[in-house]
Amino acid sequence: MFAVLLLVFVFLAVIYFKLVVPFFYWQKRDIFYVKPWTRFRKVFLGKESFAEAVRAAYDEHPDKRYYGSYQFLQPSLFVRDLDLIKAITVKDFEHFTDHSAFTSEKTDPILGLNLFSLKGQKWREMRSTLSPAFTGSKMRAMFTLIAQTAESFTQYLLGLGQGVVEVEMKDTCTKFTNDVIANCAFGIECNSLLNPENEFYKMGTMVSKPSPWRLFKSLLYGFFPKIFEFFRIPALPPTISDFFLRIIKDAIIVREQQGIVRPDMIHLLLEARKGRLKHDKIEANEPGFATVQESTIGQNEKSLQITDELITAQALVFFIAGFTTSSSLMSFLAYELVVNPEIQKKLQKEIDSFLDREFSYEQVLQMKYLDQVVSEALRKYPPGYVLNRICVKDYVIKPKQEREKVAVIEKGCLVAIPVIALHYSPEFFPDPEKFNPERFSDENKGKILPGSYIPFGLGPRNCIGSRFALLEIKVLLVKLLAKFDLVPVDKTVIPLKFAKTLGLDAKGGIWVGLKKRT
């Protein structure tokens, strides 16, 4: 009887602190807020996608620089003001050093060790260790691997037939990104278009398309992270973690025994283990306008002890991040080229002008219109369409407008930065629904307000892989458009609509026709 009463008490306590107390968090602090269930209800009842919810939240209160909100009923500050966004992510970064992660080292010993999930001093040490692996010089070394994968990918498509070949771009590009990351991060060559049943691709699909139970478990983790940590419930099934750990360990053993050197992620992390991976000078030429600059924060931190588990964790999150986000951007970009044939023709003309000689890393950097097209795609379809930060020590927001009061953001509060809403704001990008690469021409890109365009984040916790992502996307575009025209087919959904999912996906998929160029 006592045990039953205790369970009832614990249940009621959880309900009270998780479902009742949050309703009064912002009210007690006299900060304007939206009710906890306002957006939650619309998203989870399928009325709008998460990305659309972020845009709607930004538009709801245009007179506010910020307002109280909620994520999984956890208090969250929704920030609209550019100056405040820059202060939180850059100037006052010491107050907001951490991400809200989907797992932790306590619940998942492999996935919890990745750069995105780590917090505080561990994050600083890991960022300092990894940042030299993503410089321009390292991307130049990886270019050959990416170009080889893109060439094999294009040759396979050329062999599908003489007429217009219909493909669903998200599925097709996912196979490409899988092969690129397998090659560049794990040292494995696998042609997923030719052999979609290969083990690496099957594991990637399991990670990117979780079962309903894993989705439900992720939702529960958002509400009850402490319970997951107490019972050590991992985010990924052990079969996935064990698979990637085995691949890494086998690759390390073979390389060390046979003296094999490949210009990939494993090699760079092994160099870091030996203390031979150093910070390069920033190169004059970057892979593109959207490239983020590496902060000096953490560059002088002590080096971590690089274990096989740490190497696996970084390679795994690199794989998870790139498997779906890069393929999504590529598919959206293909759609825009289909519905804007004049942009496609102009891009092909630039590509053709460079391909009368051997394809090189330097050529990719020299293609200005290619960079404009990719930059505009990142504006409309930013992979990280909302950023979050955790306040790690109390932060004071001073009043700037009439009727504003001093606001204290307390330790533990989340901060949400609506990237996609900024990118679609007419204030910063006139006629935002239009796909217009000219926004990023030499004449116009200087007019873009700092902080209004942040497809790879802002500040020291920006996306460490921006150079790799840009290079991967550009190389595929060059190879694909040199051989094909992208044309609409009966299955092409125009206009495009976002699917009601957590990530950026198109409703009904993105179907494109590949027509061989003559």
Give the C-alpha distances (Å, rounded to integers) separating 341 from 168, 335, 350, 351, 435.
19, 10, 14, 15, 12
Give the global pTM: 0.91
CA angle 38, 40, 41 (to 5 degrees): 75
pLDDT in tens, 90-135: 999 999 999 887 677 777 777 778 888 888 888 998 888 888 888 8
In this predicted structure, what is the pLDDT of residue 297? 65
Q: Which positions of the chain have pLDDT values less than 70?
A: 1-21, 37-46, 102, 210-212, 214-220, 222-224, 279-287, 296-303
In this predicted structure, what is the pLDDT of residue 380? 98
CA angle 270, 294, 427 (to 5 degrees): 145
pLDDT in tens, 130-149: 888 888 888 888 899 999 99
Sign of CA dihedral 203, 207, 212, 218: positive
Helix axes 169-185, 265-273, angle to 10 degrees: 30
Q: Which residue has the tokens 């002008």?
A: 353
- Pick from 210, 154, 142, 208: which is nearest to 180 by CA? 142
The residues near 395 (Cβ < 8 Å, ≥ 6 apart) are 88, 92, 95, 96, 408, 409
In this predicted structure, what is the pLDDT of residue 203? 83
| The pair of three-digit structure tokens given for residue 237, joined into one six-digit string | 């099934």
In this predicted structure, what is the pLDDT of residue 493? 94
- Pick from 107, 133, 149, 178: which is nearest to 321 by CA? 178
Q: Which residue has the tokens 């949050």?
A: 22
Please give the backbone phi and psi of residue 294, each rounded to the nearest 5 degrees, phi first: -75, 130
d(CA 396, CA 321): 33
Helix axes 308-339, 368-380, angle to 10 degrees: 100
Three-state SS string over 319-382 comes to HHHHHHHHHHHHHHHHHHHHHCHHHHHHHHHHHHHHCCCCCCHHHHHHCHHHHHHHHHHHHHCC
End-to-end CA distance of the chain: 81
172 alpha carbon, distance to own chain's centre: 19
The structural domains of the chain, ordered by start, are 1-95+385-454 (3.30.43.20), 108-380+464-518 (1.10.630.10)
| The pair of three-digit structure tokens given for residue 178, joined into one six-digit string | 């899988």
Helix axes 120-130, 265-273, angle to 10 degrees: 110
Any idea what DSSP says for residue 87?
I
Q: Which residue has the tokens 């190169």?
A: 283
Coil, helix or strand at residue 74 = strand
Three-state SS string over 411-473 comes to CCCEEEECHHHHHCCCCCCCCCCCCCHHHHCCCCHHHCCCCCCCCCCCCCCCCCCHHHHHHHH
